[in-house]
């Protein structure tokens, strides 16, 4: 039974989205600001998204004529810029963006726990736990990619089973290996729930985009709140099964 001080936290598809909706509406402005900041943090990746088009050369690739030296220099310049911006995007994706995302995730968990969201967590990872965040993100990325190469399905399974790594890193302060192992343990029996929540989340995002685009913000807030609710409910189930059953 739900108390006045806590949300009803029972692992499950419907309950996670239901609780996530309540968490979002109870902390709308604060969580909106978190999503807005995360969107701004993702913006530089668009700036680094350098597109090379051979048509940018003043003549076709096979029609260089007598000025082939100039065109070859232009082609080489384009290649250098493309490689440079690609390197910047990769470094930013692996060394900066995860810190904000992991911090945002724990803020949503705090909201589920009815703890006042603290925006310092968005940058706290740069001063505390930075190496663990970067290594955990890299490890999860590598495992999922390897799984996707193995006929895709294993990658989806790994992605679902490691869905809690970011929460664990920030919440439990474990190292990357321990976080991966604990996520695998916590998600045992909940893999399908995570998969279907992720699948439904795609349609929530699409619906949000259809709502004059600005609807994407509450859509993302709802999704993040729902996954944070699932993490907290599964964590309580594993740590205090009797308490969850009573609820």
| DSSP string of 123-164, one letter each residue | HHHHHSSHHHHHHHHHHHHHHHHHHHHTTSHHHHHHHHHTTT
| pLDDT score for 18 | 95
User: Is the predicted pLDDT of residue 97 greater than 80, yes or no?
Assistant: yes
User: Is the predicted pLDDT of residue 236 greater than 70, yes or no?
Assistant: yes
Q: What pTM does this model have?
A: 0.84
- What is the Cβ-side half-sphere exposure of residue 102, based on CA atoms within 13 angstroms? 35
Q: Is the Cα torsion angle 8, 222, 94, 128 positive or negative in sign? A: negative
**What confidence category does residue 120 fall into, taking pLDDT thresholds of 50, 70 and 90?**
very high
110/36 Cα distance (integer angstroms): 18
DSSP three-state, residue 209? helix
198/205 Cα distance (integer angstroms): 11
29/134 Cα distance (integer angstroms): 29
């Amino acid at each position: 039974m739900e108390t006045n001080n806590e949300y009803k936290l029972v692992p499950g598809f419907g309950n996670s989205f239901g609780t996530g909706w309540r968490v979002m509406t109870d902390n709308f402005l604060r969580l909106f600001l978190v999503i807005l900041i995360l969107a701004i943090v993702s913006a530089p990746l668009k700036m680094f998204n350098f597109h090379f088009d051979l048509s940018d050369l003043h003549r076709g690739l096979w029609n260089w004529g007598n000025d082939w030296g100039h065109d070859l220099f232009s082609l080489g310049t384009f290649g250098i810029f493309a490689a440079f911006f690609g390197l910047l995007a990769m470094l930013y994706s692996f060394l900066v963006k995860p810190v904000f995302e992991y911090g945002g995730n724990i803020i949503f968990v705090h909201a589920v726990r009815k703890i006042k969201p603290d925006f310092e967590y968005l940058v706290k990872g740069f001063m505390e736990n930075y190496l663990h965040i970067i290594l955990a993100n890299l490890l999860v990325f590598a495992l999922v990619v390897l799984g996707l190469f193995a006929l895709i399905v294993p990658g989806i399974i790994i992605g679902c089973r490691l869905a809690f790594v970011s929460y664990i890193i920030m919440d439990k302060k474990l190292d990357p290996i321990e976080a991966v192992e604990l996520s695998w343990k916590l998600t045992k029996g909940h893999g399908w729930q995570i998969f279907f929540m992720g699948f439904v989340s795609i349609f929530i995002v699409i619906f949000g985009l259809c709502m004059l685009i600005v609807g994407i913000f509450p859509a993302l807030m709802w999704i993040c709140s729902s996954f944070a609710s699932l993490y907290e409910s599964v964590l309580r189930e594993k740590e205090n099964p009797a308490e969850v059953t009573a609820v």
